[in-house]
Structure 1
Amino acid sequence: MAEIAVLFVIKKIGIAVAGDTLKLAIPLFAKKTELKKVELVTALPVNMRQIKKELEIINAFLKELGMNGYKGEVVETWIRQVRRLAHDMEDVVDEFMYVVGKNKHKKSWACVKKIIKKPKPLFSLDEIATKADMINTELVELSKRLDRWTRPLSSGIYVPPTNYNSEQQLYLPGYDYSINDNELVGIDKNRQTLIESLRLEDCSLRIIAVWGMGGLGKSTLVNDIYKNEAIVSNFNCHAWLCISQSSKMHDIWQNMLKELCGEDNRGVDAENMNNRELRLELAKILRQKRYLIILDDVWLAADLLKIREVLVDNGLGSRVIITTRIEEVASIAEDGCKIRLEPLNNHDAWLLFCRKAFPKTENHMCPPELHQCGMDIVNKCGEDYIIQRKRLIRLWIAEGFIEQKGTCSLEDVAEGYLTELVRRSMIQVVARNSFNRIQCLRMHDILRELAIFQSKKESFSTVYDDTHGVVQVGSDSRRVSVLQCNSEIRSTVDPSRLRTFLAFDTSMALSSASYFIFSESKYLAVLELSGLPIETIPYSVGELFNLRYLCLNDTNVKEFPKSITKLLNLQTLSLERTQLLNFPRGFSNLKKLRHLLVWKLVDATYKSLNNWESLEPFEGLWNLKELQSLCEVRATRDFVSKLGNLSQLRSLCITYVRSSHCAQLCNSLSKMQHLTRLHIRAMNEDEVLLLDDLMLPNPLEKLDLLGQLSKGTLESPFFTTHGNELLQLELSRWVSAEPANLPGESSTNPQWRMLGGSGWI
């Protein structure tokens, strides 16, 4: 994974030395500086390009190391040094981009120069140039160092790559398929289905898929069938083949031939056959026999299709079973021959734990004093933490993991990656919304443990949990997730290296982390503090120049310091269920905002129209033209008239709408090409939403209209043009709870009633 850090900084340097960026930086190079540093500063772009070229070569070298399996402590140490240097260079590039961006911002505010005392700059071009020069020198030394202490790769010395299955033994359970029958739990139904698939009266070749997330026991289930003599004896020959991601087709066919021939190889020299000879010999054997072939852990549909070319349908009832995590691979199996494995239920999970943990006790009973401990272990092994799709995608974008592809938005590209992970069974879908889009997910415990292990090893991220005492977090960790914090974090984390800080322990007092987060972690890109008992944000938040994601949901924050307007890179600001509804003057400077989510809950019973309060629109809100989500914002005459400027909006929730706003609101909405979700809420029960002229250029997925509607609303141009394409429609208005009253009449006990309801239209 070291090449990821290198690739990341290569990409950033490419942006930094691009023509448009350097054009903005030229005036900075010409500014006065110490004579001895003039040359260094002017050489900065050249130095950065040289570093980029050197890192590109290093990246190619790292790839070659991975492909050829070269190992060794010296090489591993060298790779760690490369990674550290790449991280250092990433910091330098971010500093450079900040200085350039700040200079551009100053030009747009040239009239505001009359200040008594000029604040000290966060970074100077001199410092940046000095750091870049040192990194350039260190890169050259890194290359020499490797030559001094390692043998040239061209010498032919080769160390086989560490087998994943052997590494698995160190930190992952369940790698051994040789499990006794009495240890198998919760597979009876799937085993019976698989046996019936093998015994089908249909004599044509059938491909059967057993698929699901890693660790669910796919291979264990199939192995249980494969070692059953009564079942396997129905076939003339059989073979078990492990298909890895790096397997070559020649090796697969060669191993298949050896397995099928067994001891009776009839003079077949598989070792010396080419692809054509292997295929001919396999076809010859498979044409004459009823065969059973297991293809274990297939990753690519293309590999399976290639293997299928030699699988002769001889009309003898032959069967092929594949195990896979990938939905696309499983789809190649015939209908009715796909077995999807799901996690064990609580009862079966407990039985399995007891059988493994207490093999010698009577009936594998758990001792009473260990019952709670055992339950905690079983619960830890579940897919329990729910990951929200939108949140995950916004975090990916904030981290810079997503690259633009054509005209697709970053969010669409990220959702494509997420869908691919689901198709590969790397993560599990917990729920989908009414549009069948992923709503929330969870991660299998085995994959989570592997991710944590690898991330810590690569200094990518680490988990902080001091439940059982002090935790030492690597000083090079770029990302920290706090699961449990009972003491000061500062003593175990180097804040100057942090890029991401995620707090999952809502009982953690911010005092234990606030100082180093807001004062020393100046490179932070992601700050997630949802649910923490926070009331104020330090003024030093403005020093987090690199911050792209700030989430303070479910906190008691009431206001932002003026310095918040310095966060020029901020993309996502989430303040849901907080006390903050007003922003300081100058907030419209944050031009990179993509998601602005602000609302305050005032009535948890949801019995009134305005049971939550929304954002008071600030001057210039309509100039944040990269906004894709705006939820929720109050309607004002000025804002509604300029709302059409936000042409990139995909989701809009506008509240406190008056009848007098509606004509201009309809006009502004007609300019939005990308809008898919729209929520309009009237100011009160007396205001009528006059939406007779509502028209949007494209269909909506979801439309919510809360308030009294004009008679012509459902005959508006929008409904006549796009009404049939709506996926979800909610119409609500204020009516009496008394059955005798007509809709709209007053009552001493009013309530909201759904007229259209939520559902499929």
Structure 2
Amino acid sequence: MAEAALLLVTTKIGVAVAKGALSYTGLPKKAGYVAELPSNMRVIKNDLELIQAFLKDIGRKGWTDRVPEIWIGQARRLAYEMEDIVDQFIYVVGKHHHEAAWWGYVKKIVKKPKSLLTLDEIATALNMINRELIQLKQNRDWFQPIIDVSDVPATSYDIQHQQYLPGYDYSISDNELVGLEKNKDDLMKSLDLGVSSNLQISAVWGMGGIGKSTLVNHVFTASNFDCKAWVSVSQSYKLDDIWRSMMNGIKSKEEKEFDAEKMSSIELTDKLKEILGTKRYLIVLDDVWAAKVFFEIKHVFVDEHMGSRIIITTRTKEVAAAHDGCMIEVEPLDEKKAWLLFCRKAFPRIENHICPKELHEYAKSIVEKCGGLPLALVTIGSILSLKVKTVTEWRLFHDQLISELHNNDNLSRVQNILNLSYKYLPDYLKNCFLYCAMFPEDHMIHRKRLIRMWLAEGFIEQIGNCSLEDVAEGYLTQLVQRSMLHVVERNSFNRIKCVRMHDLVRELAIFQSKRESFGTTYDDSHGVMQVESDSRRLSVLQCKNDIQPSIGQCRLRTFIVFSTSKTSSSLFQSESKYLAVLELSGLPIETIPDSIGELFNLKYLGLDKTDVKILPRSAVKLHNLETLSLQDTNCLHLPRGSEKLKGLQHIFMYKVLDKAFSVTNSVEPMEPFDGLWSLKNLHTLKAVRASEIYVAKLANLSQLRTLSIIGVRSIHCAQLCDSL
């Protein structure tokens, strides 16, 4: 959906109007459209917010008709075009704000990047967008009557969840409950009356398709209670429907005289309390998405100390931790158990379910791709059990696995279950999540690096007095708690250090990224690829072929290279003026073109472990630059005039002399330049050579969080302590 793109651009418009208000006080009345820019932006912002609300509405209704889909694509394209204009406006007006007078700005406009628009051209482009927006609203008014509430089909969520109620064939028998045995025992023990006669609540949590509902279903059917009910809770739940579902499950034969469908909400809750107050009951609330849902439901669960139990299944840790009861995390299967489960489903008629030797290579690769996800292992294994056991057939399926995932109806439930997690992400998390798919498979994504890229892209909104970095870390924690990312490593303070994306989740994120023109991953291992001309981001994973594709007129926001081949850098042929993130670390490049100064929007420049020795003089024009990373390079001097880079927050600049860090002087630091102490937004400075002047001026950098200073001598110590 396009909600995330609309949220991003409306946020940026708010920033643009705020920044431009002061500068516009000096504009002459005769400027016409130029003088009306801020007010026109506010009008467009209001329209886009209404479109965003409309998209949410039809998203909740689960409408999948082709006409709204085309309209959504047009809305997304307009949002992207508007974002481009807003970024230019912020830059141009920002330049004006820093001049003493409007005339001073006019005189210096000739020095702006050649690719930038003037304010007149921005105003013209904005008027064109406004006209297209009017047409877009008229088109919506044309097809909106079609989407009438009474005619709306059941949501895809509800359709999918009908398959997972008790009685549905989960395709896993008791003796095939691989890897869930301990979780099952723990859950069974929590239901035991001997544990406590008080009402007890247990939560089972983990990513979609991990086997939560399967596990709970086995416990549900095997347990003995006076009455039991299984309630599937959707994201767009209605309390009355939950009450009725619960009522239909727990009422006994003698209670059939009343009709739950005709009862009001108050009548339903009163009757539920009456029945539950006289019985030992077990209620399963399946797939709860938010803690507030449980709090709204729990008041009907009366506790008469009869040993009643509640089980919640959820994809989010927040919901699981919303009570003081038993909390069970279901994790992906390890390699051995994943292989065992797959073979049981793929080779059901072979003795001991042993995989034929000739199929072993492809079977192992498929299992590895499933990443220990039981739903994928069971579904894919069951499909392969029906195929001919030949190398040709299995190789074909293996090579087309991702395509099969999107196009094979038998695999649709794997895709649907995983996609639900993305669909119900808050809009402010969607861009952050899709961005993680740009990293290679099984890549350890470092928290600090990822957060700096998110900040450069403008994905993080200011919340109260919190720093943007702290807000971004909160976003990352939410993605982990929603099982969209998995923590690989934590630091000594128990903060997230590295995360990783599940392989299948990543593949679906890549598919969604292409669909929304969010980004493209380039990998020509199996032949030359074509890069979509409307893609906003490009990640180069492998680049081996000499024949390079045409990127076209991409308005790239991010360009990241993970391949270290010499041909990788040649992919970057587009001098995209909108680039916010340029990550070329590891490439065998020695020079940076002087045209880099034209990248007015650049906020993150990564050149770690390259052969770069010097940055071009034009780099001092990068007034929006926030992160400059030159770790382990021969570049230890910034060009003259670097004190103009007032937006710099993170500088990493040093050469590693001893790779093993076995000696004290293992790093050669950057040389401090005149005016370094004037960069008052610096959060990170790593590493700088000590000098009397710098040590004395260090106190000016009051925002520093990380400092690495090399070559401190005894004559520096007193002043260094004072400055710190």
Question: Relative to 1, partners in 2 of residues 1:16 and 1:226: Cα closer, same or farther, differing over 3 Å?
Answer: same
* Offset, 1:527: 1.6
Give the 3 Å change call, closer, same or farther, for CA 56–323 of structure 1 in structure 2.
closer
Aligned with 1:17: secondary structure?
helix
1:339 alignment partner in structure 2: 328
Cross-structure match for 1:298: 288
1:132 matches 2:126: yes
5 Å-filtered alignment, 1:8-23, equals 8-18=8-18, 20-23=19-22
Q: Is the 8 A contact 1:214 1:446 kept in 2?
A: no
Residue 389 of structure 1: aligned partner: 447
- Is contact 2:486-2:499 (8 Å) kept? yes
> How does the TM-score come out when normalised to structure 1?
0.79
* Partner in structure 1 of residue 549 of structure 2: 491
- Distance change (3 Å), C-alpha of 1:132 and 1:29: farther
In 1, the alpha carbon distance for the partners of 2:161 and 2:618 equals: 49
SS at match of 1:491: coil
1:479 paired residue number = 537
Please tell me whether residue 348 in structure 1 is matched to residue 341 in structure 2: no
- State the AA in 1 paired with 2:346: A
Tell me the CA shift for residue 642 of structure 1: 1.0
Instruction: Note the alpha carbon deviations across 1:332-372, whole angstroms, 9 max, x for none.
Output: 4555x322222211211222232333334332222323323
Q: Deviations over 1:294-325 (max 9, x none)?
A: 11112222322332222232333322221123
Alignment partner of 2:264 out of 271, 274, 281: 274
Partner-residue secondary structure (3-state), 1:496: coil
> What are the equivalent positions in structure 2 for 1:267-666 lying under 5 Å apart?
267-335=257-325, 337-382=326-371, 384-487=442-545, 491=549, 493-507=551-565, 509-516=567-574, 519=575, 521-666=576-721
The CA deviation string for residues 585-640 of structure 1, in whole angstroms up to 9 with x for no partner, is 11121111111112211111222111111111112111111111111111111111
Q: What SS is found at the alignment partner of 1:292? A: strand
Higher helix share: 2
AA in 1 matched with 2:46: K
Change in Cα spacing, 1:46 to 1:565, as seen in structure 2 (3 Å) is same
1:675-714 deviations in Å (ceiling 9; x for gaps): xxxxxxxxxxxxxxxxxxxxxxxxxxxxxxxxxxxxxxxx
Task: For residues 486-518 of structure 1, give each alpha carbon's deviation from its aligned partner in whole angstroms, at most 9, with x where no partner exists.
Answer: 3379636445321112223333633432322xx
Query: Map of 1:77-156 to 2, 5 A cutoff?
Result: 77-104=70-97, 121-123=114-116, 124-148=118-142, 150-152=143-145
SS in 2 for 1:541: helix
CA distance in 1, matches of 2:577, 2:98: 19
**AA of the residue aligned to 2:294:** L
Q: Which residue of 1 aligns with 2:384?
A: none
Contact 1:462-1:473 at 8 Å conserved across structures: yes
Describe the shift of the 1:496–1:226 C-alpha distance in structure 2 as closer, same or farther (beyond 3 A).
same
Distance 1:333 1:515, change over 3 A: same
Q: CA deviation at 1:648?
A: 0.8
Aligned to 2:225, the other structure's residue is in SS state coil
CA distance 1:250–1:204, shift in 2 (3 Å): same
Q: Is the 8 A contact 1:496 1:523 kept in 2?
A: no
Question: Within 2, Cα distance between the matches of 1:603 and 1:108?
Answer: 52
CA 378–274 in structure 1, closer or farther in 2 if over 3 Å, else same: same
8 Å CA contact retained: 2:629, 2:653:
yes
- Provide the C-alpha distance between the structure 1 equivalents of 2:159 and 2:503, rounded to a whole number of angstroms: 19
Q: Distance in 2 between matches of 1:254 and 1:274?
A: 10
Q: Which amino acid aligns with 1:423?
A: Q
Higher relative contact order (CA 8 A, sep 6+): 2
Structure 1 unaligned residues grouped into runs of 5+: 32-37, 170-174, 670-761
* Residues 386 and 441 in structure 1, CA contact (< 8 A), matched pair in contact too: yes
What does residue 667 of structure 1 align with? 722
1:682 paired residue number: none
What CA distance in whole angstroms lies between the structure 1 residues aligned with 2:81 and 2:107? 36
Question: What's the TM-score once normalised by structure 2's chain length?
Answer: 0.83
CA distance in 2, matches of 1:251, 1:283: 16
1:380-424 Cα offsets, whole Å, 9 max, x none, are 333932121111211111111112223221111111222233333
The structure with the largest alpha-carbon Rg is 1
Secondary structure of the 2:711 match is strand
Mapped to 1, the partners of 2:709 and 2:345 lie a distance apart of 56
Displacement after TM superposition at 1:69 (Å): 4.0
How big is the shift at 1:548?
1.0
Q: Secondary structure at the match of 2:202?
A: strand
Give the AA of the match of 1:252.
Answer: I
Taking a change above 3 Å as real, the CA distance of residues 43 and 305 of structure 1, as seen in their structure-2 partners, is closer
Look up the SS of the partner of 1:441 in the other structure.
strand
Q: 1:490 and 1:178, CA in 2 relative to 1: closer, same or farther beyond 3 A?
A: same
Which runs of no fewer than 5 residues in structure 2 stay unpaired?
163-167, 372-440
Q: Percent identity?
A: 56
CA RMSD of aligned residues (A): 3.1
CA deviation string 1:615-673 (max 9, x = no partner): 1111211111111111111111111111111111111111111111112211111xxxx
State the number of aligned residues. Answer: 648
Aligned equivalent of 1:59: 52
Question: Is the CA contact (8 Å cut-off) linking 1:258 and 1:265 kept in structure 2?
Answer: no
Code of the residue aligned with 2:554 in structure 1: it is: S
